[in-house]
Structure 1
Amino acid sequence: MSLWYCRVCGLAYDESPWGQDDRTPDFTFCECCGAEFGYNDYSPESARRHRSRWLEQGAGWFYPNLQPTEWSPASQLANIPKRFQ
């Protein structure tokens, strides 16, 4: 079971890139939407802006070789934490 979901695209992660305190981002990038944790998702507004751009550009994977074959963008987007929707 996943512990954390990307605030921009809802991709599931085993560990939070925001640290155990949920306040210390590691500034890595989401494998799917390319959001830089701590920069593109630091607030609900910044997450929505990045999501909007990502969707407008076709919702392609930042690391295409990691995209699952049965990927469902709609299902993944449903995982976005409520505060960041």
Structure 2
Amino acid sequence: MIIWNCRVCGLGYDESPWGVDDRTPDFTFCECCGAEFGYNDYSPESARRHRANWLEGGASWHYPNLKPLDWRLEPQLTFIPDRYR
């Protein structure tokens, strides 16, 4: 069950890398966009900046072996939390 979406690319996770308090990042990386949680997504501006760079670079998966065969960018981007769009 998805309970958290990446602030940069919208990828769904079943656990928040920002902890239960939403204030304690674990500094791991998004499987999709490669954002370092707690660094590239610490503010709406930093998330937008990382997203722009990721999209400009072709929106490649950070861990390509985890990319679903039926993955589509546009639907995933709709899951970016409103504050970080």
Residue by residue over 1:1-34, the C-alpha shift from the partner in whole angstroms, topping out at 9 and shown as x without a partner, is 3100000000000000000000000000000000
Partner SS, residue 24 of structure 1: coil
Partner SS, residue 46 of structure 1: helix
Return structure 1 stretches of 4+ with deviation > 2 angstroms. none
For 2:52, give the aligned amino acid: S
Gaps of at least 5 residues in structure 2 are none
In the aligned structure 2, how far is the partner of 1:70 from the partner of 1:31? Answer: 16
For 2:75, give the aligned amino acid: S
In the aligned structure 1, how far is the partner of 2:80 from the partner of 2:72? Answer: 14
In the aligned structure 2, how far is the partner of 1:69 from the partner of 1:78? Answer: 19
Give the alignment of 1:6-85 within 5 angstroms: 6-85=6-85
For 1:3, give the aligned amino acid: I
Partner SS, residue 38 of structure 1: coil
Fraction of identical pairs, as percent: 74
Aligned position for 2:2? 2
Considering only aligned residues, what root-mean-square deviation do their CA atoms show, in Å? 0.4
